[in-house]
Amino acid sequence: MKSPPVFGRMSRQMVQSGTAITVEARAKVNLTLEILGKRPDGYHELRSVVVPVSLSDSLSLACTYAQTVITVTSEAGLDITRLCPADKNLAFRAARLMQARYRLKSGARIHIHKRIPIGGGLGGGSADAAGVIRGLDRLFGLNAPLAELMELGAEVGCDVPALVHGGAVLMEGRGERISGLFGDGARAGCEGFWLVLANPGVMCSTPEIFRKWRAGLTAGRTISHNMISSIRASDVSAAAKALHNGLQTAVYESIPVISETARLLEKAGCLGVLLSGSGASVFGLVRDELHGQEVSRKLEAGLWHVLVRTCPVV
Ligand code: C5P
């Protein structure tokens, strides 16, 4: 069997035990998600405009001479480490991969404070993994090329490379081909959009949702083109018209409470409403912060919702 490549130089990792850094791991929304077909490897070919938002998990990463350990708390002050066992935790897997690839002699003590709903289609687990990859690169002074870190992220999960890259991106392939939308310096005046995220308190299993997907009509490249130009122009009305999620019908049909939540956002006055990723969260684009506050006030107090802003520029 071919052994995995080892990157980086050993001399860069002279880090004292106890040295710590913090990282904000941002959630994402897919403003478009086209499922182009099933691939021979069992995954699906995607084309998706992915944008981080201002809702984040807080990570603290410390160097330790002991083994890598991970603890997780939630916003309610609960220790939920046992709900996120290490073998299923993408952040833990990312840490172990970084250690192996860069021959790190020390372990990492990782604490994740979660605000992003779990199983919510907001890329929480992937954001934490991406945060660990970027964070350990910084903590150990590896200065690895971004492309190398994204490649490593792809081994952890399909959403991870986009979040390692950061900012608004076009994601293609099974998630490993990433193009930043602002690589050409066209960032001036890009303010991002305000949106209300809502989650009805259920979790979606991504593999199950993909299994339920049935091919529908695709509109070629116009969907992503329209979305990309509306992001570059900060034109929220155009973005609302360009919203698209190829998994939405399958999710709304199988879990009615999610489509009911989407209807609540529409009724509250959002410009456009969409399922985020494979669900269970939905989001509604709003004109500005004030409009977002107005929409939020109309939603039931019992429904988890939060007003956020997209962060298109890294
Ligand atoms: O890579 P990740 O673990 O996030 O993917 C979760 C599941 O979503 C995969 O096991 C697969 O069932 C489905 N998926 C897919 N095609 C993709 C991405 C994810 O079928 N491009």
Given this model, what pLDDT does residue 75 score?
78
Q: State the Cα–Cα distance between residues 126 and 174, nearest whole angstrom.
A: 14
Q: Is any atom of ligand 1 closer than 6 Å to the C-beta of 52?
A: no
- Mean per-residue pLDDT over the chain, rounded: 90
Query: pLDDT-derived band of residue 214, with 50, 70 and 90 as boundaries?
Result: confident
Which amino acid, residue 34? Answer: E
* Active-site annotation, residues: 28, 159
- The answer to whether the CB of 268 falls within 8 A of the CB of 298 is yes
Rounded Cα gap, residues 285 and 194, in angstroms: 6
Does residue 218 register a pLDDT over 90? no
Q: Which amino acid is at 170?
A: L
Could you tell me how far CA 132 lies from the centroid of its own chain? 13
Percent of the chain with pLDDT over 90: 75
The answer to whether the CB of 175 is under 6 A from ligand 1 is: yes
pLDDT of residue 12: 54
Q: Whose CA is nearest to atom 10 of ligand 1?
A: 207
pLDDT band at 153 (very low <50, low <70, confident <90, very high): very high
- 178's CB contacts (< 8 A; 6+ apart) are 150, 161, 162, 165, 169, 170, 171, 172
Residue 259 in this model has a pLDDT that exceeds 80 = yes
Q: Is residue 5 scored above 60 in pLDDT? A: no
| CA 245/CA 33 separation, integer angstroms | 5
Tell me how far the alpha carbon of residue 45 lies from the centroid of ligand 1, in angstroms: 10
What is the per-residue pLDDT for 1?
Answer: 43
pTM metric for this prediction:
0.93
Which of 34, 38, 43, 276 most suits a substitution to test ligand 1, by most atoms within 8 Å of the C-beta?
43
Confidence of residue 11 (pLDDT cuts 50, 70, 90): very low
Question: What's the pLDDT band for 61 if we cut at 50, 70, 90?
Answer: very high
Does residue 37 line the site of ligand 1, with CB under 6 A?
no
